[in-house]
Structure 1
């Protein structure tokens, strides 16, 4: 019986990691790669925080004989226009495990930029060329590339343009007026914490003036202003710190998740338009190029309109540019280890 069987009581998402190692035990590949949320490194097991990742490392090193490297990587450091952190485990039996060198860095990190790394790719560089999307239909998909906004392409945009036609999944949905009333007040790049505080401060002045004018208490003035619609009571609520917040043109996005269809779940509102990001905008922020078409129905291979299903696929994925950086790095290591060793005498004879 495999020594991994005793861990079957772990949470499902971590059972997948253990099942992966179970397969590795059977086939013994030269290199293993595990990618998961950063919280995996602190996940409790056997009564202690962090014990799960330690257990995985012990299994790889002591039981399977791999050399292991573990790190938290930021996808933005590999050209993805998104501040998405992931825990990466690399295990190798053909040398020393290592991670690919980052290609990008925080634009404020002068030292990193001095080594040749490029500044992080911003939201503007990633999606500014995408036009205002149609409502509830994917009518732009498969049409002429002229439907892109006219502008000079950034390096990232050129990497994304892998199709001869406009990409699919650039579609928006309608939002309740209550949601629109919130996001209309939000400024690009600022959090719910900052923006709700700003709104409450502005409301305090309005309440004070109104109470003084009518010679009523502040509480009564506030209630009447809420009833009239002059004050939105939602800004007195303590939501998640990035709820309803807008993307900033001049920065990478925050993590794009499977919940990007719900504006209250994070920073998923367009920088300037009063709507959430489309599937295509989310895909480009994940670094999926134009050739990717997200089919959102099991029964209809032309269905690209179900935004919630599309966001699930996009938000749960490993960003392709990060996956490519890891894959190319590991392929180079395998190529180097696979080359025959040539003696000096043989080399001179050649």
Structure 2
């Protein structure tokens, strides 16, 4: 069997800055276009990936626009992570502010699948999606496909953060090998392994050679708080005069993970859109008295150290970049998805495959 990856052409819907795209490309899949309505994502997507950025709302997208991009390879893949504001624990910001966000984007994704009939489909999303009717509706759009879905703890695939995501895979080529769990088994990667070699900076400082390696400023009180914080500890470790008034109340005492430091030799917490703020979660640097930098956040999302997010001379906007980084699909997750699909196609070409489904089969659902 040839080790060369099969010729799969993919379109990445809701592509953002290109986390899923970059991972698919690393696995050997040819991403021919990315689609997103956020114009700020154009530069990072195109600067790091050899594919055009289509600035358009997916709800207004017609199949005819995408079909030429999917026809460039022997096999076609429609991929994406539809933002699901109602399900997410954290605010998605940005794109959701442009219009009222509901689960219509999942329906729009399903409609494009039904119209385009690509050979392969993958959808990454929040795990809560499976609890809602819209997930069943999406599965209905996959009639004629073999379908597998898995609830993934990303530490199992080499992502250095505790991040649970739903990954759905669907194929017209049968079900053999269509199981993301086959890619699991890596030892959890740690914060130290991912960001431990970055040069130190202070709170409010930007590194001279890397504009994304910049940390937000801290107030005098928050500087005292972070100095009193231990890696993996909580604000309960502080002297009483440093504890915020809201945490002294019964309603606030159950939120111990804010104002925390990460641990060097453990995975990071989930990187969110507010990860640049020390008070927004356990986003304090393990040893330096500051929140993690935007570059560190991107690397914990497994973007390469040199991934370009800013044009030369462009000013850093924490809220915008934090949103784009926090909303991204971890690159490593995209790579694992791409590897699984490539191996599935190779199995199909070798004849080791199941019969193609005539209707949505019983799905394989797992939590790892």
User: Is 1:182 equivalent to 2:225 in the alignment?
Assistant: yes
1:54 aligns to what?
Answer: 136
User: Is 1:39 equivalent to 2:128 in the alignment?
Assistant: yes
Q: 1:95 to 1:234 in 2, by over 3 A?
A: same
2:318 aligns to what?
Answer: 307
Greater share of strand: 2
Partner SS state of residue 231, structure 2:
coil
CA deviation vs aligned residue, 1:255-288 (integer Å, no higher than 9, x gap): 0011112222211110111110001111111111
In structure 2, what is the Cα distance between the partners aligned to 1:174 and 1:262?
Answer: 9
Partner SS state of residue 248, structure 1:
coil
Q: 1:281 to 1:15 in 2, by over 3 A?
A: same
Q: Give the Å deviation of 1:325.
A: 0.7
User: Is 1:248 equivalent to 2:329 in the alignment?
Assistant: no
Any unmatched runs of 5+ in structure 2?
1-85, 87-99, 353-368
Q: 1:276 to 1:119 in 2, by over 3 A?
A: same
RMSD: 2.5
If the length of structure 2 is used for normalisation, what is the TM-score?
0.61
In structure 2, what is the Cα distance between the partners aligned to 1:78 and 1:124?
Answer: 17
In structure 2, what is the Cα distance between the partners aligned to 1:264 and 1:37?
Answer: 24
Q: How many aligned positions are there?
A: 248
Partner SS state of residue 34, structure 1:
strand
Partner SS state of residue 264, structure 1:
helix
Q: Give the Å deviation of 1:52.
A: 2.7
Q: Give the Å deviation of 1:315.
A: 0.8
Would you say the 8 A contact 2:106–2:134 is kept in 1?
no
> Which has the greater radius of gyration?
1
Pairing of 1:1-350 with structure 2 (within 5 A): 12-42=101-131, 50-60=132-142, 64-96=143-175, 97-103=178-184, 117-133=185-201, 135-141=204-210, 168-190=211-233, 192=234, 195-196=235-236, 198-199=237-238, 203=240, 233=245, 236-237=248-249, 238=252, 240-295=255-310, 301-303=312-314, 305-339=316-350
If the length of structure 1 is used for normalisation, what is the TM-score?
0.64
Q: Give the Å deviation of 1:101.
A: 2.3
Any unmatched runs of 5+ in structure 1?
1-9, 43-49, 104-116, 142-167, 204-225, 342-350
Would you say the 8 A contact 1:31–1:92 is kept in 2?
yes
Q: Which one scores higher on RCO, CA 8 angstroms, separation ≥ 6?
A: 2
Q: Give the Å deviation of 1:234.
A: 6.1
